[in-house]
């Protein structure tokens, strides 16, 4: 069996002593080990592409691996925006690659005239919304 893992680590121990965990990624079954993050388990299985970038439609994978960059966002058990580098795998977890989401400022989706242009406008819209919500 070819693996991209360290089999005997001076601090973490021997790989053979680890508890296996089965999960799926894009409908393919993979095996990781208890304590693996989604990112480390996928990398050990040779998976590098985790999602596509929203505006350029280019592949994205692990970048910082410490939770700062959000490049590794995936869908976990139907919940979007999960960082693969910060989330431990669980047995039977269903992981899907991040899908291209529309830009929040896409003029075909939003009437830009209704968007606040300044912070003061944003605050005023928030106050008006709270007042409307309190009358319901």
The whole-number mean pLDDT for each consecutive block of 10 residues of the chain, a chain of 136 residues, reads: 74 80 96 93 92 82 86 92 93 89 56 72 82 69
pLDDT at 130: 74
Say whether domain 8-97 belongs to CATH 3.10.20.440.
yes
Each domain of the chain, given as residue ranges in start order, spans 8-97, 102-136
Token readout for 62 is 């692990």
Task: Please tell me the predicted confidence (pLDDT) of residue 94.
Answer: 97
User: What SS3 state is found at 92?
Assistant: coil
Distance in angstroms between the alpha carbons of the first and the last residue of the chain: 62
pLDDT on residue 105: 52
Is the sign of the CA dihedral 30, 2, 43, 9 positive or negative? positive
pLDDT at 127: 83
Buried b (16+ CB within 10 A) or exposed e, 54-81: beeeeebbbeebeeeeebbbbbbeeeee
Amino acid 87: pLDDT: 95
pTM as predicted: 0.67
| Token pair listed for 91 | 């047995």
- Decide if 26 contacts 97 (C-beta within 8 A): yes
Q: Which helix (H) or strand (E) holds 129?
A: helix 119-134
- What pLDDT is stored for residue 37 in this prediction? 95
CA nearest neighbour of 25 among 59, 5, 49: 49
């Amino acid at each position: 069996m070819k693996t991209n893992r360290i089999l005997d680590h001076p601090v973490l121990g021997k790989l053979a002593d680890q508890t296996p965990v089965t999960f799926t990624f894009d409908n393919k079954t993979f095996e990781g080990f208890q304590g693996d993050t989604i990112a480390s388990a996928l990398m050990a299985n040779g998976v590098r592409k985790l999602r596509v970038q929203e505006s350029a439609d280019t592949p994205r994978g692990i970048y910082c691996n410490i939770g700062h960059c959000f490049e590794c966002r995936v869908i976990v058990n139907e919940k979007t925006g999960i960082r693969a580098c910060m989330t431990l795998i669980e047995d039977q977890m269903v992981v899907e690659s991040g899908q291209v989401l529309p830009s929040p400022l896409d003029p075909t989706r939003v009437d830009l005239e209704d968007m606040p242009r300044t912070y003061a406008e944003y605050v005023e819209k928030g106050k008006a919304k709270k007042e409307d919500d309190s009358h319901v």
